[in-house]
Every structure is written in structure tokens, then in C-alpha cells.
């Protein structure tokens, strides 16, 4: 069968597909332009796409023989799953493998913002480090502070485990409360969102992007936070109202922010890049060699199983697909 791979993958990973199928792959280490993407999907039976590719009605209409959409990533808000389901096309993703990498980057942002790591690095490189003084270039301590985790799934729990090493107090909020045994294991206390925002010194977001979580953190929520508090977002950009965040940072309503994702990625809200109390990363939460390799192998496995007409290991819409196919 003919397969489109929209992102550049290593030859050893692609060879697993090429053993039985014909592969057209994007050889550039950047997302495909929309026109090239639409031209590339025509006549294909499978696609291995990434979060940069918009898989919508227009895309699907060009590939009436499509049998599987294998997504390289955990987020899938770029895929019209309902449209795929109506056509009987399974949609898969790569859960679980990026938990530790994303938790690491969330904690890196906590430390970087609070201890002014990026700002200090830049000052030193530019020749600004000329003396040491007791109250020069002060940051804020992380150890012993209160960490608020919004979304206590795999990644949220991994962040909580890292926070334990810093003797932090953990409060959390989520759609579902943990079992008491899990709360005790993580030393985590459940709070409604508004109470968490008032209490936490650091607020770390770990929720999927849904209609309920879009702009979960806006101007009203930011006003509830402490003036010294830091907001961390490694989930999805639109979970935060970025314009409201810029306003809150400019006016000193919160102490800082660490972002790996953006509302209109890769564009930044006006004024964000000029703020010293923000650390901005280019969506690298899962960007370790080990994690991205595991994600690629999982996506390929999902693809190959789907091409055989079988249920892929990590399918988001199998019940809907079965209904369409009348199985």
C-alpha cells in the first residue's frame, strides 16, 4: 500500500514500513506546507502524521482509500476524529512514552523561572556578570513551596514525584479525584481549581485540550494566583489565554511563567517575548532521543496494524469505526 509519512523519521524506523509498503516521506526536518500535504495524501492508504498537520475534511476528501491515521504524538486536537470516524478510518496516538520527558521539562521550567536561569545565562554571556553581592540577582526558592498540579494523569503524577524530592507540598485538581491510597502515595491534596490557584506557589498544567479546557486559565484565574506565583504550561497552548497571561505578567499580577506550548503556535502573543520573567521553549517537552524514538516505533506499529484492518494498539475511535463498517 502507499503510505505518506509527513515528518522526517530515521531510516531504520521507516524501513519497518518499507518492508511491505511504498513510502513517501517528508525529507525536510520541518512540517510539510499545507499544499504539499494535500498533494501528498492523494491516493494513499495510510498516513503517519504529526501534531503540525491539520487532518480535516479537506484532507480526508483527497484520500478516499485511507485505512489508518497514525499520529506521532499524544495530542490529537489537530485531527478531526469525528470526520475520520464517519469514514471508518481508525485514528491512533502514542500515549505513555513521553511521561518522564515532559515531566522533566515541566520541572526544568519551574527551576529556570524561579532561579532566573535563562536571564542569568544571557547576562553572563553579554558581559553583565561583573561582581557578586548578597542581594544581587535574587530568585525565589523552589524547595518547600506549594506546587499546584492541574490534571493529575500520568504526567501530573510524574511531576508530583519529582516535586517530592524538593520537599514541596502538592495540591492538585482534575476531572477525577485520585483514590485515597494514591493521594497518600503522592502526598497530594485535592482542591477545587479556584482554591488551588490561590494556594499554590507554582501552577503546572497537564490537561488535554478539549472544549472544557480551552482557556481554562484566563484573566479571572490569573487574578486568583499569588503575585509571586509561577504558571507552567507543558500541555497545550490554548489551555491558557495567552493575551491575558501577558497582561498579568506585565502588570505583576503573577511572578512569572514557563511555557513550552503556545495558543497560536508557533506564533507568540504580542508582548510575550519581551518579558524577562518568562522562559519560552519551542515545544520540546518530549524531545529526547529516547522518547521520540519510542514514539516513532509506536506510531509505526499502529500504522502497520491498521493497514491490516486490525485494531491498532492505541486507537482513539475503534468503536466508532466498527459501527461504520458494520462489524
Distances (CA, A) of 183 to 19, 161, 190: 47, 12, 8
Q: Are residues 130 and 170 in the same domain?
A: yes
249 with 307, same domain: the answer is: no
User: Which CATH number is 273's domain given?
Assistant: 3.40.50.720
Same domain, 60 and 106: no
The residue-averaged pLDDT of 145-171 equals 97
Query: Do 204 and 251 reside in the same domain of the chain?
Result: yes
Whether 279 contacts 232, CB under 8 Å: no
Q: Are residues 317 and 190 in the same domain?
A: no
Distance CA 300, CA 14 (A): 8
Question: Are residues 309 and 199 both part of a single domain?
Answer: no
Under DSSP, the state recorded for 97 is: T
pLDDT at 327 over 50: no
- The boundaries of the domain holding residue 261 are 99-280
Give the whole-number percent of the chain exceeding pLDDT 90: 96
Do 209 and 316 lie in one domain? The reply is no
pLDDT in tens, 294-306: 999 999 999 999 9
The reply to whether 160 and 64 lie within a common domain is no
pLDDT of residue 324: 79
Work out the number of other CB atoms within 10 angstroms of the CB of residue 29. Answer: 7
Q: How confident is the model at residue 326 (pLDDT cuts 50, 70, 90)?
A: low
In a shared domain, residues 90 and 104: no
State mean pLDDT over 121-129: 96
CA separation (Å) from 222 to 17, 87, 283? 47, 42, 23
CB-CB contact of 34 with 78 (8 Å): no
H/E segment holding residue 149: strand 146-150
Euclidean distance between CA atoms 210 and 229, whole angstroms: 25
The domain tally of the chain equals 2
Average pLDDT, the chain: 96
Catalytic residues: 236, 265, 283
Q: Which of 84, 83, 57, 51 is nearest to 68 (CA)?
A: 84
Shared-domain flag, residues 119 and 268: yes
pLDDT reading at 261 higher than 90: yes
Give the length of the chain: 327
Distance CA 276, CA 257 (A): 10
Cα gap 44→40, rounded to integer Å: 8
- The predicted-structure confidence for 172-191, as pLDDT tens digits, reads as follows 999 999 999 999 999 999 99
How confident is the model at residue 325, as a pLDDT?
Answer: 64
| Residue 146 CB contacts under 8 Å (≥ 6 apart), including other chains | 168, 169, 170, 171, 199, 200, 201, 202
Q: Residues 44-103: pLDDT tens digits?
A: 999 999 999 999 999 999 999 999 999 999 889 899 999 999 999 999 999 989 999 999
CA dihedral 9, 12, 13, 17 (to 10 degrees): 110
Please check whether residues 108 and 205 belong to one and the same domain: yes
**Residue 55, Cβ density class (10 Å: 0-12 exposed, 13-18 middle, ≥19 buried):** buried
DSSP 8-state code for residue 33? P
Are residues 135 and 247 both part of a single domain?
yes
Amino acid at each position: 500500500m502507499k503510505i505518506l509519512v509527513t515528518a522526517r523519521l530515521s531510516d531504520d524506523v521507516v524501513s519497518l514500513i518499507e518492508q511491505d509498503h511504498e513510502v513517501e516521506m517528508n525529507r525536510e526536518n520541518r512540517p510539510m506546507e499545507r499544499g504539499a500535504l494535500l498533494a501528498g495524501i492523494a491516493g494513499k492508504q495510510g498516513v503517519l502524521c504529526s501534531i503540525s498537520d491539520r487532518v480535516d475534511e479537506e484532507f480526508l476528501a483527497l484520500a478516499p482509500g485511507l485505512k489508518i491515521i497514525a499520529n506521532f504524538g499524544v495530542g490529537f486536537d489537530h485531527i478531526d476524529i469525528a470526520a475520520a470516524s464517519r469514514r471508518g478510518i481508525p485514528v491512533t496516538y502514542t500515549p505513555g512514552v513521553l511521561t518522564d520527558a515532559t515531566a522533566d521539562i515541566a520541572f526544568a521550567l519551574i527551576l529556570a523561572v524561579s532561579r532566573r536561569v535563562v536571564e542569568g545565562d544571557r547576562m553572563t554571556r553579554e558581559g553583565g556578570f561583573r561582581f557578586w553581592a548578597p542581594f544581587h540577582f535574587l530568585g525565589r526558592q523552589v524547595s518547600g513551596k506549594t506546587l499546584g498540579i492541574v490534571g493529575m494523569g500520568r504526567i501530573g503524577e510524574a511531576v508530583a514525584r519529582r516535586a517530592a524530592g524538593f520537599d514541596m507540598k502538592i495540591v492538585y485538581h482534575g476531572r477525577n479525584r485520585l483514590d485515597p491510597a494514591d493521594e497518600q502515595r503522592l502526598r497530594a491534596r485535592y482542591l477545587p481549581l479556584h482554591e488551588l490557584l490561590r494556594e499554590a506557589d507554582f501552577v503546572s498544567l497537564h490537561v488535554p485540550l478539549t472544549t472544557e479546557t480551552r482557556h481554562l486559565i484566563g484573566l479571572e484565574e490569573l487574578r486568583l494566583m499569588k503575585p509571586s506565583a509561577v504558571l507552567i504550561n507543558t500541555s497545550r497552548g490554548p489551555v491558557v489565554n495567552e493575551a491575558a497571561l501577558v497582561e498579568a505578567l506585565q502588570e505583576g499580577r503573577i511572578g512569572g511563567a514557563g511555557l513550552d506550548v503556545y495558543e497560536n503556535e508557533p506564533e507568540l502573543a504580542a508582548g510575550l517575548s519581551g518579558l524577562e520573567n518568562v522562559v519560552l521553549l519551542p515545544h520540546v517537552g518530549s524531545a529526547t532521543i529516547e522518547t521520540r524514538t519510542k514514539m516513532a516505533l509506536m506510531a509505526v506499529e499502529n500504522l502497520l496494524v491498521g493497514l491490516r484492518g486490525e485494531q491498532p494498539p492505541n486507537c482513539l475511535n475503534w468503536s466508532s469505526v466498527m459501527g461504520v463498517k458494520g462489524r
